[in-house]
Every structure is written in structure tokens, then in C-alpha cells.
A and B are shown apart, each in its own frame.
Chain A
Amino acid sequence: MLKISNLHKSYPIGDSSLHVLKGINLNIEDGEMVSIMGSSGSGKSTLLNIIGMLDEADSGDYILDGLPIKNLTEKKAAVYRNKFLGFIFQSFNLINYKNAIENVALPLYYQGMKRKERQKQAMFHLEKVGLAERANHLPKELSGGENQRVAIARALAANPKLLLADEPTGALDTTISYEIMEFLQKLNDEGKTILIVTHEDDIAHMTKRIVRLRDGVIMEDTFVNQVRAGQNV
């Protein structure tokens, strides 16, 4: 599904540059649920951004589902993002003047789907996250957990191959965090490949594999016994 070899990335800071990723090698298979851990500055968000095609590596190879991701034009990157990836953010990143169903339908709009079909699909995914009756509410009328569920529904809407979650529980309290994790586990059970960036140990242990990053290199890559979030709720 995902093959990264010898990936380097540095950011210019004034005259010098900051070497953030120093040769990352990572393979992720279909159906895996992986967490990337590390303190701030370890390069975990940068790695996620490169995987999410929001940023580009300086050198190294990145192959997603057999497609080499390199020197993409903006337009192509937009198409790939839409087709392959679903994003879940810490701060939800919903569009504040659009209601839940419109937010969920947005990736489908960029796919060029017809309005009616879009609404149907969006409703289906909202039902899946259990928010069908909140479809016409604006983000500000929903709770944090509900907003994150809308964001998950949006990430799922285009039926992507890979779900990328950047601190998905960072803005939520423990109970709600576990609810969200339980939901992500359920999606993984159904076969979805999920990559989560987190700095919380308990969240990381709810995935099946933990990749620890420090100073731009992978320190540890271990498969763990998944803790089911449902037990803790």
C-alpha cells in the first residue's frame, strides 16, 4: 500500500536549514492500523504531510498504491489527494459556514459527482458515524466529538485507500477520544488502512503497530497487541 525509502526533508531557516527527516524507510501494508509517535520536533507531522501530499520530500522515494509520488503538479496532487487519501485533523477543519452534510459532500463535489448522488452518499456516511439527524447543523452547533465524527465521515466520503489522522483526539477529552478511537478501530476492522499521528501512549496502543520517531529517524517500529477502545469506555 505504502512504500517509503530513504526519505529526506529539510526546511530552510534563515541561511542554514533544519534537517527534519533524515532517511525514513517505512512500509505499510493494506489493512494496517499504524500510529506514528514522537515528541514535537521529531518530524512526525512532516512525515504525515509528505504522505498526505501536502508537502514534498527533498529526496527519497514514496510509492502509494504502486504510484510513485514525485514532482506532482498541483492539479495532479489535488486529484490524487481526492482519490487516495482521507484527512482527519486535530482541529477538525470543517468549513464553518457549511452544515454537516455539505461538509461531508465536499470531496465528492471535487470528484465531479452530481448533487443528488452526492447528497445520498454524504447522508450514508453521516449515518455511519451516527449523525444522520444532525445533518443540517453547522459545525458551531455541534460538540467537539460530533465535529470530529463529521470530519471522519468527510474523510470516508470519497472512499479513500488510506485514512490519515493528525492527532485526531488532541482536542477531545478522554471519553470522547476513546469513542473516536473505537470508531476508527471499527473502520480498520472493515479493512481500511489507517495512519495516526499522536503523542499519547494510550491512543497509540489502540493501533496495531507503533512507529517511534526521534530527531528525524525511526527509533523503533513494533507491532503491539491492540487495546480495544470499547473496553475503556
Chain B
Amino acid sequence: MFDLDLWREIFQSINMNRTRSLLSGFTVAFAILLFTILFGIANGLQNTFTEAFGTDANNSIVIFPGRTTKAYKGLQAGRRIQFKNEDYDYIKEEFGDKVQFITSKVMKNVTASFRGEQNNYTIRAVHPDYMFIENNKIKEGRYINQSDIDNRTKIVVIGKVVDEDLFSKTTAVDKYINLSGIQYKVVGVFTDDEGYNEENVIYMPLSTAQLVYGNTDYIDFMHLTYNPEMDTDQALAFGNLLTKKFKKRFDVAKTDQRAIRVRNMAAGTKAVSQMTFGLGIIILVIGFGTLIAGIVGISNIMIFIVKERTKEIGIRKALGASPRSIVSIILIESILITAIAGYIGLLVGVGVIELAGPILEEYFIKDPGISNSLVIGATITLIAAGTLAGYLPAKKASRIKPIVALRND
């Protein structure tokens, strides 16, 4: 029930002790301000890291072949490792349950032309899974599918930049494009959130490229994503297992670091999540430390207020005030000061973060922001803090015996 008279009593009391209320509120406001700014900065740092990893699937593993640097099993150092389709099949068979998407990749540079427009591009010959690994979105038409792979169809899917370069006057889908002398049908246009470099490429079915460029079953490298249900440690273990198996498969010395290279995003993800976690803990500790200091400050002042108002509380009790009404006066006053001061701190903190945002971006802090859930959480914390700060003094006040209170004049 909203008790207007109770609030009147409380505002009268706060008003009576304006300086004191202001000072005690300042501690809490400052604590929340500090907490907000720290939290915003941590958020910004996290955003920077997340962005550094791009929009590619962040559970990806890339396996590159290289040259051996050590002689092993009678084979000389300097031998070139060549991946083939059978290696791709091997991963699918051996680790099917650990792999989410997988593609082989062959890269070629070509000159593309269409009706007099001409430019140089990179071809990426891939499997259909590649779309999910790269997080591409189809703008028009379709993507490479399994039947393209099976039939070695001469089709391509082009990036948005290629589309804009060559097909400025018409739509690209269903047109034939000339890639270094061979005609391919454009079946789709894709976009990629990472922008120009990722949209300035042409995708082709892997089998088509293998047929056209030398009729081999060679693969430049393989790109896969691990099962997202695996945690970071499991993913790291999987990466190590892949390395080991491939070294064995290609008769590479265990200590040879160059012949088979496995780039596992899980390592980076783990480092970032550990760092973010550590940062979060530090901020929580600092934030809560300041908040506790604020609570102790308010609690102290409330105890002082109760002491000072002992006589008044005695009078009220003599006039028929119940212990509960005494508790609520002290408690609500404490909550009110804490909540209002805390909110001012929060608002100022958000304001500072908003204003300083563009400047902070130079220092690897991107979009420092405070989420709604944090604001709600802070509100609950503030009310809880005020209750905590006011509880002991309020309890103390309610135990005041009117006779004792009235005697001390």
C-alpha cells in the first residue's frame, strides 16, 4: 500500500538533515559511477576482441600442408606435402561426430570478363559447407550445392563486389562469365559482413576446379568447424589429435612444425574468454568493494541518525508508534538515499561512457555500453544495498525503550 504520510515523514526527515543525506548519498553515487565506467570499459574491450575475430565461425580449424623440415622414416627434409580428396574423406570418416562443417579449398587467380568489363579476382573452389563456415549470405540466386560437386558443373557464385564491378548494367544471375578463357554460369551473388576483401572473390565447386585446372584430386587446404557442443578444451584436444593423425598419415616427424599446420580458433577463443573472465572478476571485485564501502558509509550515517533521533523515536513510541513503523521510517529513508544516489551515479556513468566512447575507440575500446540487464541488476543491487545498510540501524531504533529515550534530556 502506498502510504503518503509515511513518505511525508521520510522526506521531512531527509530534508531536515540535507547535508548529511547528501554526503552519504555521495559515497554510493561515486561507487556506482565507478562501477558503471569500469563495466563499460570492460564491455568495450570485449567488443574489440570479438570483432578482431570477425564474423567467421569462431569454432573453425584450418589445416594447411607445408614442407617438411626434418628427415623422417628415410624421407628427406624439404618434401612438399600435398592434400588430396582422400584426406578430406578421411576426416569425414574418422571424425564425423566432431565435425560440424567441412570444406576443401583450392585457390586460383583468374581474369574475369563480362561484356567488356574485366578484372582480376581470386577463385575459391570449395564444398557447399563453405557458406556456413564463412557465414555468407545469399543476395540473389543460390549457392553451390552437392549436385554441382557430383556433376562438376561449370557454375560460379560471385561476391557482391564482383557483381558491382562486372554487372553494373544488368543482373548477374544466369549470365555467363569468362574466367581466363572458360565460360561459367553465374548462379548466385553473396554478401559477407566482413566487407570488401571477402566479397571480392568468386566461389566455384571444388570438383569443377580440380577438373579444369589440371584434372587432379589435389586440395590446397582444408577448413572445418568443430562440433559447437564441444567446449574449448575438447576443441583444443581435437585440434591436437588432428595434427597428430595427419603427421602420421604423411610420415612427418612429430617435432616438425611446418609440414602440417593446424590453426585452431579455439586457442584464441580460450585466451579471449579467459582474459574477459579475469577482467570481469577484477571489475566485480573493485565494483563491489566500492559498493560495500558505500553501504558501510550509509549504514554508519544511519546509525548516527538513529542515535541522534533516539529521543524523537522515544516520543513516537510513547504516542503509540509500533516497532514496525519505526523500522520502516529508518529503512525506507536508507533505501531512498541509496537508490536515488545510486541512480544518479548510474546516469552520470552512462553519460560519461557515451561521451567518451568515440575517444576510447582509439584505445581498443569499442562501443563501451551498459546493457539493460545491468541497469535492472544495478537497481536490485541498490535496493538490496539500501536495505542492508538500513537494517541494523532500523532494528536498533525499534528496540529503543521510550523510557530510556525520554530520560536523556
User: Which residue numbers of A lie inside 8 Å of B, CB to CB?
Assistant: 49, 52, 54-55, 74-75, 78-79, 81-83, 87, 89, 91, 93-98, 106-107, 109-111, 115, 154, 158
Give the residue among A74, A83, A94 with the most B Cβ atoms within 10 A: A74
Whether B323 lies near A93 (C-beta < 8 A) is no
Q: Name the distance in Å between A170's Cβ and chain B's nearest Cβ.
A: 11
16 further contact pairs, Cβ within 8 A, besides A82-B319, A106-B316? A54-B318, A55-B403, A74-B323, A75-B322, A78-B321, A79-B322, A81-B319, A82-B320, A83-B320, A87-B318, A93-B315, A93-B406, A106-B319, A110-B319, A111-B320, A154-B319
A74 and B312 contact, Cβ closer than 8 Å, known pairs A97-B16, A98-B12, A109-B5: no
B105 interface residue (CB < 8 Å to A)? no
In the assembly, what is the distance between CA of A204 and CA of B316, in Å? Answer: 29
Instruction: Pick the 9 closest A-B CB pairs, nearest first.
Output: A82-B320, A110-B320, A54-B403, A107-B319, A78-B322, A97-B16, A74-B323, A93-B315, A54-B402
- Count of chain B residues near A, Cβ 8 A: 25
Whether B323 lies near A87 (C-beta < 8 A) is no
In the assembly, what is the distance between CA of A75 and CA of B320, in Å? Answer: 9
Whether B312 lies near A95 (C-beta < 8 A) is yes
In the assembly, what is the distance between CA of A96 and CA of B78, in Å? Answer: 96
Q: Name the distance in Å between B13's Cβ and chain A's nearest Cβ.
A: 8
B117 interface residue (CB < 8 Å to A)? no
Whether B12 lies near A97 (C-beta < 8 A) is yes
Chain B 307-345 residues near chain A, CB threshold 8 A: 311-312, 314-325
Q: Name the distance in Å between B390's Cβ and chain A's nearest Cβ.
A: 19
Q: Name the distance in Å between A86's Cβ and chain B's nearest Cβ.
A: 9
User: Which residue numbers of B lie inside 8 Å of A, CB to CB?
Assistant: 4-5, 12-13, 16, 311-312, 314-325, 398, 401-403, 406, 409
In the assembly, what is the distance between CA of A81 and CA of B314, in Å? Answer: 13
Q: Name the distance in Å between A51's Cβ and chain B's nearest Cβ.
A: 12
B contact residues around A154 at 8 Å (CB): 319
A contact residues around B324 at 8 Å (CB): 75
Whether B311 lies near A93 (C-beta < 8 A) is yes
The residue on B at minimum CB distance from A105 is B5
In the assembly, what is the distance between CA of A97 and CA of B316, in Å? Answer: 13
The residue on B at minimum CB distance from A74 is B323
Whether B316 lies near A81 (C-beta < 8 A) is no
In the assembly, what is the distance between CA of A107 and CA of B409, in Å? Answer: 22
Whether B4 lies near A115 (C-beta < 8 A) is yes
A contact residues around B12 at 8 Å (CB): 97-98
B contact residues around A87 at 8 Å (CB): 318-319
The residue on A at minimum CB distance from B317 is A78
Of the A-B pairs whose beta carbons lie under 8 Å apart in the complex, a sample of 16, sorted by A's number, is A49-B403, A54-B401, A54-B403, A55-B403, A75-B322, A78-B320, A78-B323, A81-B319, A82-B319, A83-B320, A93-B406, A110-B316, A110-B322, A111-B320, A115-B4, A158-B320
In the assembly, what is the distance between CA of A96 and CA of B309, in Å? Answer: 11
In the assembly, what is the distance between CA of A80 and CA of B69, in Å? Answer: 97
A110 and B406 contact, Cβ closer than 8 Å, known pairs A52-B318, A82-B320, A87-B319: no
Q: Name the distance in Å between B309's Cβ and chain A's nearest Cβ.
A: 9
Q: Name the distance in Å between A63's Cβ and chain B's nearest Cβ.
A: 20
B contact residues around A158 at 8 Å (CB): 320
Whether B315 lies near A110 (C-beta < 8 A) is no
The residue on B at minimum CB distance from A89 is B406
B contact residues around A93 at 8 Å (CB): 311, 314-315, 318, 406
In the assembly, what is the distance between CA of A109 and CA of B16, in Å? Answer: 20
Give the residue among B5, B318, B321 with the most A Cβ atoms within 10 A: B318
Q: Name the distance in Å between A178's Cβ and chain B's nearest Cβ.
A: 24
The residue on A at minimum CB distance from B12 is A97
B contact residues around A81 at 8 Å (CB): 317-320
In the assembly, what is the distance between CA of A49 and CA of B383, in Å? Answer: 39
Q: Name the distance in Å between B409's Cβ and chain A's nearest Cβ.
A: 5
